[in-house]
A = this chain, B = another copy of it.
Amino acid sequence: MPVDAMEDKQLSPKMVRKERDILKFALEVFAREGFHNADVQVIADLAGVGKGTIYRYFGNKEQLFLATSRRYVEHLGEHVDKQLGILPEEYLTGKRFDLPDLLRRIARACAEYYQKNPYAIEIIIQERAEFRESVYPTHLMFRSESHDRFSLLIEQAMDRGELRKANSQNAAHAYSDLLFGSLINGCLEGKKSSLVERVETAVGFFLDGIVAPEYSARKR
């Protein structure tokens, strides 16, 4: 039985397609109804498969949800990678130095993705609300591997003089938290305003501060 991409069994193309369909509708239903109110039967009906099939593919409702979450975090990752193009490699290998720029680009790419896929961010909330630290967070920025790589990047930028000296862990957290908060809250405003704009402005403050330099200087 195909349990998931995790244990990479060789899935026939048809099965791959079916799995993708299921996850597509799972996203929709979980996002619209919330984890608990989502009815597996509804997902099955939308996906045009039997309920049993979902259970064979994903084991149980929780695993189905987690697979959905994983899937769309991966999508986000792909989108970000595509938007950034070759850049991260260059940054990482030191060919290019401009972390502020990178931070802006990442944030923008995330915001773009969630603006296009508002369901996906709802999944993040649901995961945080239902599964907490046990599985949380699947979210890109908050996976510890990412976080560590990210802290390192920040540290190097500090060394290069791009960023003020500070605790890089804290800085990484602050950036993640701001991004997270902006995305979560921004998506609620719905059509009223642009998620991308909200996120970009927020990151702008993170980078350059909101205090007027003169005022800041005067205080010192």
Contact = CB atoms under 8 A, between A and B. Distances in A.
Contacts of A2: none
Interface of A is mostly: helix
Given A130-B34, A162-B212, A177 B178 contact: yes
A206 B205 contact: yes
A182 interface: yes
Interface residues of A, number: 53
Given A170-B201, A201-B174, A161 B129 contact: no
A163 interface: yes
Number of copies: 4
A128 interface: yes
A129 B129 contact: yes
Interface string A64-88: 0000000000000000000000000
Contact of A202 (B100, B142, B177): B177
Contacts of A125: 125, 128-129
A211 B162 contact: yes
Contacts of A170: 197-198, 201-202
